[in-house]
């Protein structure tokens, strides 16, 4: 799979936002219902935290993954990167909007998998990877991606993810079922 292309497709379906919320729920000791997804077309604000007093702290930067990767590699230090610096005057304005769950069903599927817990997030991710690759291979249409993920999620039991073996088994079964759904939905 070409990772840049997959990231572009996940951005277009908003699956990337759903996967980010799932990731954040595992990284931070915050209940899943405390996370909120906001669509920000300029891709300058990467995260925000609201404090109990109502103030909001935002992390901003250019939309370049080299910055968070450098921070991850150097944590807790910061590395200088070759990334373009953020120029807010050049950006002009920042806009935000609520996600449209009808237009972007993949986001709702991801949030549902987070609420269900257990193996559901692994099933979601596996089915999405298969469906996105099938779209990139022109075997299905764009709108089929979320439909395939939904079909796989609804058809698999959600088990406790107590060990790696259980998660890997769910991943493998989700990939198998997603491939069957791709074949059934495939474009002629």
In this prediction, residue 148 carries a pLDDT of: 98
Domains and their CATH numbers in the chain: 1-34+101-188 (1.10.1740.10), 40-96 (no CATH)
In this prediction, residue 101 carries a pLDDT of: 93
> How far lies 94's CA from each of 16, 44, 46, 55, 129, in Å?
20, 8, 12, 17, 31
Predicted TM-score of the model (pTM): 0.84
In this prediction, residue 28 carries a pLDDT of: 85
pLDDT along the chain (188 residues), means of 10: 79 93 88 87 90 94 87 91 93 94 96 96 98 96 97 95 95 98 83
In this prediction, residue 88 carries a pLDDT of: 93
- Pairing of β 56-60 and β 45-50: antiparallel
């Amino acid at each position: 799979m070409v990772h840049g292309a997959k990231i572009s497709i996940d951005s277009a379906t908003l699956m990337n936002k759903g996967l980010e919320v799932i990731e954040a729920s595992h990284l931070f000791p915050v209940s899943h219902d405390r996370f909120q997804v906001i669509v920000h077309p300029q891709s300058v604000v990467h995260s925000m935290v609201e404090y109990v007093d109502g103030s909001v702290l935002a992390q901003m930067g250019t939309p370049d993954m080299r910055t968070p990767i450098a921070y991850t590699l150097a944590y807790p230090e910061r590395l200088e990167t070759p990334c373009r610096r953020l120029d807010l005057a050049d950006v002009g304005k920042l806009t935000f909007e609520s996600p449209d769950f009808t237009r972007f069903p993949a986001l709702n599927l991801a949030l549902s998998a987070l609420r269900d817990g257990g193996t559901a997030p692994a099933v979601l991710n596996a089915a999405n990877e298969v469906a996105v690759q099938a779209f990139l291979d022109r075997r299905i249409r764009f709108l089929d991606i979320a439909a395939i993920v939904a079909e796989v999620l609804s058809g698999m039991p959600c088990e406790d993810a107590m060990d790696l073996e259980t998660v890997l088994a769910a991943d493998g079964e989700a990939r198998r079922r997603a491939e069957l759904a791709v074949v059934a939905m495939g474009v002629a």
